[in-house]
Structure 1
Amino acid sequence: MAEPESPALESTTAWHPMLVALLEFYLPSGWRLSPELLLNRMPLRVDIVVLRLVDQPAGDARKLHSIFGHLRNHTLIEHKGPTDDLQPEDVLTLLAYGALYMRHNKLLAPEELCLMVIADRIPAGFAEQVERHRGTFAPLGGGLWRGELNGMLLHGVETREACRQSPTEHLLYTFSRAYLKGAGQILPLDPEETRVYNALYQQVEQFRRQRGTMAMKDYELARQSYEEVLEQLIAQLPPEKLLARLTPEQRLEGLTPEQRFEGLTPEQRFEGLTPEQRFEGLTPEQRFEGLTPEEILRAIPPEVRELIAKKLDR
């Protein structure tokens, strides 16, 4: 008999809190989502659990039908990030999840439970392992798979294909391997998707602050891909919205002193800038170029004028 494997140090891929945030945002009414549900005293933990609330009517999903359209009263979701592959042995993990969950919640009917896998792709080896356990698992098209494992519904979502089938599945591209090679291909995003996309990465940052960078796999990949999309989003903004996102230094970068002040009144030239920012990179002559003595005086804050007057009186 083989020796049992040593338990690995607990770490979470950066994509996991992003998927949790995405599902929570679009979760229909009448359902409850629980991330990282412990199934036993041992470190065996299913990624996401979605429960049907018995005291509320189930609402219709606006988006992510490839996931929410296949929920059962109890749905356990196993998620593989873009850098991880679904393995044949993951079938055994799903079986263990299902059995422990049914035992913990005193479920007798396996048809109440759905086991769901979300990954960039579902390899043939995974489906073959399901068949070895007298189960079934076959593609339906459009990145969706369906079958049965030990009496439980088995549903699969290949993010690389599902994200292309409908605008409602668009954000699943963030969880595909193609996203790491060309994150900008997720564009264009509508205003709601832009807010959601920003919230996904904020979830990653919050998780990192709570547990530390070492507890999160693929953090740098997620950060770089997010920033690539963010740069392109900013580049597509109209001028008035783009200007609002820039720092004073970014607004003036690459401009000559004359270009910086062209068309501005003395007050507008210094509006919103600190004393240091007002004169950064300018010679004394350039700071006052083209201004009359009266205009220069008006641009000086009252307290500075008072200080100058006191020095002159001495």
Structure 2
Amino acid sequence: MTLYWHPYLAELLRQDYGNRLDIEEEVSLGDMPLRADLLLIRRDPEIALPFPFSLLGERTLVEYKSPDDAATHDDLVRLEIYGLLYAQREGLPSRQSLTLWLLASHFRQQVSRPDGAHLAEAQAMGSSVTLGSLDGFPTCLINLSQLPIAPEALPLLLVSKGPKERELASFLVEHFQEYPQHLQWLQELHVQQLQEVLAMKKLTPEQIGLDFEALLALIGKERALDLIGKEQALDFIGKEQALDLIGKEQALDLIDQDQVLENLLRRQGEQWLREQLERRSQPSDEPESE
């Protein structure tokens, strides 16, 4: 099942910055069916914002690439067109009045090209942000997968994939009492990394305030098991719930594998495992005919 990441970005921004930014989705850019992903409007330009939101203009058009897509030169061309259309529609006095952002977890080489859409006067701010001017518009290219792990950047980090996913999951697990809402987003968007961190820290979802049943209701059993893996599910959700979820026959296959069997025996004991499998192997009504 395809996961549409754009609404998550909008909701995370509303959750963390809704008191400082007006956030509009799918902003119409004229009579043609062209829509920018987001428009961010600072409620009070005099109030300081943390990095990287400190790079927002009074108005900022945002083009966001989902984590499995890479930003290309075509995306920079599209962003430039969106900026021109919006500035014309709104009658902005200067292109300096509108900032453009291109957000992606991955950037292809030569996103900016001298013979096409060109980011002039480009300067890097660390490995995550490149600033410049695109046809007169102040522009930021933000590599989400390279952003430092910080509370202020959580809305962007949570809609990214890359080398810092495990670090993000670890941060939110360690600070679960401070960021319970973000932890819920992590459970939905980065299940595999959450599971790995919990296993490494020898924690259960319940110990950090998570409800696996809520995840099942939200994204469905099949997707949850695809994300977590059936072997890990035995250890992740534990006890009777795991066997009910996976099914007796699959569980019997799984426990032939040493690691899973070891985990179950360590956590529940041999007697418990025998009782659960025997209970599930008994017919509910009449014995099956041969």
TM bracket, shorter-chain basis? 0.5 to 0.7
1:24–1:33 CA contact under 8 A, matched in 2: yes
Distance apart, 1:281 and its partner CA: 5.8
TM-score (norm 2): 0.62
Distance apart, 1:239 and its partner CA: 9.6
Match of 1:184 in 2: 166
Distance 1:281 1:98, change over 3 A: closer
Highest RCO, 1 vs 2 (Cα 8 Å, sep ≥ 6): 1
The residue type paired with residue 36 of structure 1 is E
Return the match for 1:39 from 8, 20, 29: 29
Q: Deviations over 1:170-211 (max 9, x none)?
A: 6644444426xx843421312244521423676xxxxxxxxx
- The unaligned stretches of length 5 or more in structure 2 are 212-236, 244-263, 283-290
The residue type paired with residue 37 of structure 1 is V
**Paired residue total:** 225
Distance 1:13 1:115, change over 3 A: farther
Distance 1:249 1:59, change over 3 A: farther
- The unaligned stretches of length 5 or more in structure 1 are 1-11, 203-221, 261-276, 284-314
Match of 1:169 in 2: 153
Moved over 6 A (4+): 251-254, 256-260
Match of 2:240 in 1: 249
Distance 1:228 1:121, change over 3 A: closer
Distance apart, 1:250 and its partner CA: 3.3
2-side partners of 1:238 and 1:102: how far apart?
51
Match of 2:195 in 1: 231
Match of 2:9 in 1: 19
Map 1:31-110 → 2, pairs under 5 A = 31-53=21-43, 56=44, 59-61=47-49, 65-66=51-52, 68-110=53-95
TM-score (norm 1): 0.58
Q: Deviations over 1:76-119 (max 9, x none)?
A: 01111222121112222112111111122221211110001111
Q: Match of 1:69, SS?
A: helix
Distance apart, 1:238 and its partner CA: 6.8
Distance apart, 1:120 and its partner CA: 2.0
Identity %: 24
Distance 1:132 1:18, change over 3 A: closer
Distance 1:258 1:36, change over 3 A: same
Distance apart, 1:158 and its partner CA: 0.9
Q: Match of 2:83, SS?
A: helix
Match of 1:141 in 2: 126
Q: Match of 1:101, SS?
A: helix
Match of 1:118 in 2: 103
Map 1:282-301 → 2, pairs under 5 A = none
Distance 1:126 1:198, change over 3 A: same
2-side partners of 1:173 and 1:48: how far apart?
17
Q: Match of 1:100, SS?
A: helix
Q: Deviations over 1:33-54 (max 9, x none)?
A: 112112123221111110123x
Match of 2:219 in 1: none
Q: Match of 1:250, SS?
A: helix
Distance 1:31 1:171, change over 3 A: closer
2-side partners of 1:80 and 1:239: how far apart?
30
Q: Match of 1:135, SS?
A: strand
